[in-house]
Amino acid sequence: MLFNPLLLIHETVVAHLKNQMKRKIPILILIIFTSCDPGVVNKYVIENRTNSDLKIESILEYGKRNINDKDSIKTVEIKPKSESLIVKYGEIGNAHDKGIDFLNGIDTIIIQKTNRELIKDIFDRNNWEYKVLNSGLFLMDEVEYKLILTENDFE
């Protein structure tokens, strides 16, 4: 049998690389799963239980706006007996009720109804329903705050 030094060098290099990869792969997996900050999508929905159309104008805080949005003011008309998503933005964090800070990220919300004034306090967290829509290890968390408006909320 002939001794081939190139074959010996090749086998040594391959064995060394395999050994190095066995050490690096678990470390890379740990880095990937522990270095990622969790994300949460906050959705704000208004349900119109009145007999009239509602006009909703909202503005997100500067850092929460989508770069693709043409305008910072979002206007939505909600037909009677229907609901609509008025604001949606993502941030670092996980699914949890923000309590009194639930509107952080929203600069302005204006609710209009023809010839009537809103008397319900939309800044009171108790007037909004909260629920977790998605949550999990490999999913982005998603939460919803819903404001339900009825004829009694206007004068």
pLDDT at 18 over 90: no
Helices (H) and strands (E) in the chain, counts: 1, 7
Which pLDDT score is estimated for 66?
62
Share of the chain above pLDDT 70, in %: 85
Model pTM score: 0.72
Q: How confident is the model at residue 34 (pLDDT cuts 50, 70, 90)?
A: low
Q: In this structure, are residues 47 and 146 in contact, taking their beta carbons and an 8 Å threshold?
A: yes
pLDDT at 104 over 60: yes
Name, in order, each residue with C-beta under 8 angstroms of 95's C-beta and a sequence gap of 6 or more: 40, 132, 134, 135, 141, 142, 143
Share of the chain above pLDDT 90, in %: 48
Q: In this structure, are residues 109 and 86 in contact, taking their beta carbons and an 8 Å threshold?
A: yes
Name, in order, each residue with C-beta under 8 angstroms of 49's C-beta and a sequence gap of 6 or more: 80, 81, 148, 149, 150, 151
Which pLDDT score is estimated for 46?
97
